[in-house]
Amino acid sequence: MMSPFTWLGGSNRIREKPGQGVVTLHHDHATRMDVATLYRCLWLRSAVFNGDQQCTEPDLDGRELEPTTVLVWAAIDGHPVGTLRILDDDDHITIGRVVVDADHRGLHIGRRMMGLALDLVRADGRQITLHAQSHLESWYGDCGFVVTGPHFDEAGIDHVPMTLRR
């Protein structure tokens, strides 16, 4: 059965700081996205995780090819500056791979992408989980997530499991 969060793609325009351009939020199944946009989102993730953060595991794991995977991305002038993914993990939903380009941090783009992701999946009724990098635990806490277990190493970075408070 296809998950209830398998909608058609959409967008939501947001006006950020004057002179910074218009940030648009989008969502779609990775398999239906424009190839250039998908490539730019995946390149951004790789640049942050495997470049900036020197993760010990590859970012691409094939999950973008699953028919229920949804990507959320923020763009300025059509160029992705942030992205995250939503995975259908049978008994729960997982939000992950949250990144914002270093030049665009501090504009609340990550919070707006997370807000859209939660709006898209909240009605599903299943538990919503994520693995937060430990230094972002309070940021995810502000988004409504609570710690559900001990810290652990993932890709060479300290993480903590979190679940959305209902």
**Average pLDDT value over all residues in the chain:** 87
Above 60 in pLDDT, residue 1? no
Q: Write down the number of H helices and E strands in the chain.
A: 3, 9
Rounded Cα–Cα distance for residues 17 and 12 (Å) = 16
- H-run or E-run covering 87: strand 79-89
Q: Could you tell me if residue 129 is left (phi over 0), alpha (psi between -120 and 50 degrees) or otherwise beta?
A: beta
What pLDDT was estimated at residue 59?
82
pTM of the model: 0.86
In which band, very low, low, confident or very high, does the pLDDT at 60 lie, cut at 50, 70 and 90?
Answer: confident
Query: What letter does residue 115 receive in the DSSP assignment?
Result: H
pLDDT higher at 102 or 151:
151
pLDDT tens profile 70-112: 999 999 988 999 999 999 999 999 999 999 998 898 889 999 9
